[in-house]
Amino acid sequence: MSSIWHNRPNLEMINGPMNQGTVVAHLGIEITEVGDDFIRGTMPADKRTFQPYGVVHGGANVVLAETLGSIAGAHVLDFNTHKCLGQEVSATHLRPVSSGLVIGTARPIHLGRRSHVWEIRLENEQGKLTCISKLILAVIEN
């Protein structure tokens, strides 16, 4: 299989200066792995991401999903000529997470000239699916 990346994501840059001072850093989201056709990251299930019942807030799941898909989408493009912006995101929450990490994997469904569609699967540390998300990115010229 050939790689989807125009610019292969650099974990040190993404986890450092790129996201410093953003919601990504505030929630403790980290990008952990890059494959030929996916990007993976984690988010802690803790007081930063919980809702009042002691489980990860659905909105925090959406932030993780959109972060993974947006970072992946950006790296498929030529940074010098194009960028992508989130246009629509949906999430179906299947199982609560009350401790450990939420692990997300983003893979493309469609990589077009004007839009991308990404599927982001969130799992708990036991590998059980906790949320499935779809992200549509608008591709625009710089």
Residue 4 lies in a domain: no
Cα 71 to the center of its chain, rounded Å: 7
Closest among 103, 63, 73 to 9, alpha carbons compared: 73
The per-residue pLDDT for 1 is 65
Residue 52 lies in a domain: yes
Query: What percent of the chain stands above pLDDT 70?
Result: 99
Closest among 48, 120, 127, 63 to 95, alpha carbons compared: 127
pTM equals 0.96
Residue 65 lies in a domain: yes
Model confidence over 39-78: pLDDT tens digits? 999 999 999 999 999 999 999 999 999 999 999 999 999 9
Residue 20 lies in a domain: yes
Residue 1 lies in a domain: no
Active-site option among 30, 33, 66, 88? 66
Residue 56 lies in a domain: yes
Residue 64's domain comprises 11-141
Residue 34 lies in a domain: yes
- CATH classification at residue 65: 3.10.129.10
Model confidence over 103-122: pLDDT tens digits? 999 999 999 999 999 999 99
User: Does the annotation count 88 as an active-site position?
Assistant: no
